[in-house]
Amino acid sequence: MFSKERFIESINRIIKSDYGKTLDEATEYEKYNVISKAIMEMIIDNWSKTEEEYSKVKRAYYLSAEYLMGRALGNNLLNLGFYDEVKEVLGQLNIDLNKIEEVEEDAGLGNGGLGRLAACFLDSSATMNIPLTGYGIRYRYGIFKQKFENGFQVEEADNWLKYGDPWSIRRDEDSVIVEFADGKVKAVPYDTPILGFKTKNINKLRLWQAEPIKEFDFKLFNEQEYDEAVKEKNRAEDISRVLYPNDSKREGKILRLKQQYFFVSASLQDLISKFKRKFGNKFDLFPKYHAIQLNDTHPVVAIPELMRILVDEEGIEWERAWEITVNTFAYTNHTILSEALEKWDVRLYKEILPRIFEIIEDIDIRFIIELKEKGYSISKLKKMRIISDNMIHMAWLAIHGTHTTNGVAELHTNILKHQELKDWYELYPERFQNKTNGITPRRWIALCNKELTELISELLGTKDWIRDLSRLKELEKYKDDENILNRFMQIKENKKKELAEYIRKVEDIQINPNSIFDIQIKRLHEYKRQLLNAFHILDLYFRLKENPNMDIVPRTFIFGAKAAPGYYRAKGIIKYINEIAKLINNDPEVNDKIKVVFVQNYRVSYAEKLFPAADVSEQISTAGKEASGTGNMKFMLNGTPTLGTYDGANVEIVAEAGSENNFIFGARVEEIERIKDTYDPKEYYEKVPGLKRVVDTLIDGTFDDGGTGMFEELYNSLLKGASWHKPDNYFLLRDFDDYRKAQQEIDKAYRDRLSWAKKCWINMANSGKFSSDRTILDYAREIWDVKPVVIK
């Protein structure tokens, strides 16, 4: 129960002891820290009780290089059920909770869907009472803060810890040593509570921070060798300094490898020391109490590392150790792109992790013997070897060294089984499963769209749907209720006004809240085809210039995306879109009809404002390239139709909500498979009306790329290809006209307000399948064999 008196007492005590101030004297960030610590005091007993109860049963452990958590304060208050009470108490103390929430830095320890999925899974496991602990790295700086200078992306350090982190507790007593060939570092854990919604269960995210064994060489410092005196400290801290350091050079690759091994080794050492305290050397019991999920290939080095610990340190014979290892681990594959399946140069492993390399060699040799006994041909053996062409294939190691491999959407899993991983599926058919991704309804509607949440709760007569999203299906009966649809669209209009005001303040751009908000927000990658969106916008602009009286519903195109610092072509696309925005937004003849905004520093807290305000959800990746997507689900939950290809989870969205309530276009997987070897983009470039005109703006001087050659390189990638890919590798020109037609359908459909509202409503009412609560229960039941534990 929430106690107003105890809460105020905690706040006053903490502000005095931590800052030597009264509340009136405190800065906004000091108030944020104090309020957060007061909440930590409230939950600490339940957190300890949860840990105690979980220690008695089989638990799941999620190993992930990324956790894109976002802000904690509002989400934790929502899950505790105290949000309104705390807001009221703070109001009495002249503190605006919304203002305090805006002070909190996003915990940007992730890059995109992979890290955000991990965060949703943590929220859902706590809410569903599933004993799951997350393990990762406590990066000193997140992915990066993005700003635009003359349209170019510029990266700045994301110092998310600049005001401290009131939500984590340092656990020095659980520190471990991680060894590389060139030295040792200390791994220090920081624990963050993960609160479930309407439950006393509090799960844990344990993030490791790298620190030196020897903090400071006093002798060297005394000899005035100041840099040398702190060299060990700096090299150790580099390991947990930045998420995904640029690895275009050898040094960057070594740092990435060290990051992966660092958090995996620390996590396994942590688990094994706790296991031995309880069970001694009875390692056959290890898989009975531990289910470890490898989130993509980044933590796959855990397989040889567990083997090293079992064989070298615990003296277990190879076959028994291998059986324990395989029965402990499961692997989630997140990509269909062969170029994104992680591989490591054997020279780096030999140099940094020589014993781990020897173990991988052993695994590979034994695997080849096994395949030879099964009668596999030489050519197939070469294809499936874990080590081949001096590269270690981490995805092959992952499939061979685990009991389950899962895809993250039905289409993705089918492509893995029948195309990309066909040989492996034929070898291990019983190991392959599908687990369609999901999103947490807490952050992605209850927190970010309180008005819609209240309407749904009123209609269902309960708030229980927030932990059982399938209940939304009951709302379908209102799809023709004009009164309800009007209330629903009024909420959308208010959210659009809020977003327009936020963009005015943050980006200094005025947008029309009465226009269609057409939004594409996701990682910047060629296969996600932000460039296709840009080409359509430019084509629309040219057509408006030719025919100023053309009848269109005003449209605001909103982008949000970060390009990886070393991804040159993606940065070129950002610059190109910003050039288009500059042209259109400064042209008075069209800017009352179309406007383009590329928001800066897209992140979780920005996303919370964008998803509820969207009219159109852009999910336009090349069919067969997006494993799942989760942004598509967040839009759907907030009542936004999908404009997309038949790709990833779009396929399942359409199955749930109907193709008549979404806008599907473009070549499907089967067609792309059929035409990929003979496809000539020049046919479309020459014949599709208006297409050549927009593509040529990359080279005809319409736009300025600052002399970088970025735009010409983009042009060549479409029409000439490159050494590593064919022309128009992602079929933009093939799909351009289909996409334009789908956009025209949207313009037409949007004019009928009630019909449009019905499409939006049906999407929202059929989004129940896409709850991460459902996904996590499927993992627990079908992969981990882990049961819920309810804290009384």
Catalytic positions, please?
334, 522-523, 528, 630, 634
Report the chain's terminal Cα–Cα distance, integer Å: 14
Biggest CA–CA distance in the chain, Å, is: 82
Non-local (6+) Cβ contacts of 454 within 8 A are none
What is the rounded distance in angstroms from the CA atom of residue 172 to the CA atom of residue 65? Answer: 21
Q: How many CB atoms lie within 10 A of CB 274?
A: 14
Q: CA nearest 41: which of 8, 74, 70? A: 8
Query: Is 576 within 8 Å of 411 (Cβ atoms)?
Result: no
Q: Assign residue 787 a region (left: φ > 0; alpha: ψ between -120 and 50; beta: otherwise).
A: beta
What 3-state class would DSSP assign to 227? helix
CA neighbours within 13 Å on the CB side: how many for 198? Answer: 10
What is the rounded distance in angstroms from the CA atom of residue 549 to the CA atom of residue 469? Answer: 45
The DSSP letter of residue 695 is: H
What 3-state class would DSSP assign to 406? strand
Query: Is 139 within 8 Å of 209 (Cβ atoms)?
Result: no
What is the rounded distance in angstroms from the CA atom of residue 783 to the CA atom of residue 788? Answer: 14
Pairing mode of beta strands 516-521, 555-560: parallel
Written as one letter, the residue type at 319 is E
What 3-state class would DSSP assign to 560? strand
The DSSP letter of residue 106 is: P
Q: How many CB atoms lie within 10 A of CB 712?
A: 13
The DSSP letter of residue 522 is: S
What is the rounded distance in angstroms from the CA atom of residue 580 to the CA atom of residue 577? Answer: 5
Q: How many CB atoms lie within 10 A of CB 378?
A: 8
Written as one letter, the residue type at 198 is K
Cα 294 to its chain centre, rounded Å, is: 15
What is the rounded distance in angstroms from the CA atom of residue 583 to the CA atom of residue 781? Answer: 54
Q: CA nearest 571: which of 708, 718, 694, 691? A: 708
Angle, helix 482-507 to helix 753-765, in steps of 10 degrees: 90
- From start to end of 355-452, where are the E strands? 387-388, 391-393, 404-407, 432-434
What is the rounded distance in angstroms from the CA atom of residue 688 to the CA atom of residue 683? Answer: 8
Q: CA nearest 702: which of 716, 692, 687, 689? A: 692
b/e per residue 197-221 (b: at least 16 CB within 10 A): bebbbbbbbbbbbbbbeeeebeebe
What is the rounded distance in angstroms from the CA atom of residue 711 to the CA atom of residue 719? Answer: 13
Residue 175, both tokens: 């520190």
Written as one letter, the residue type at 81 is G
Residue with token string 């396929």: 651
Non-local (6+) Cβ contacts of 374 within 8 A are 427
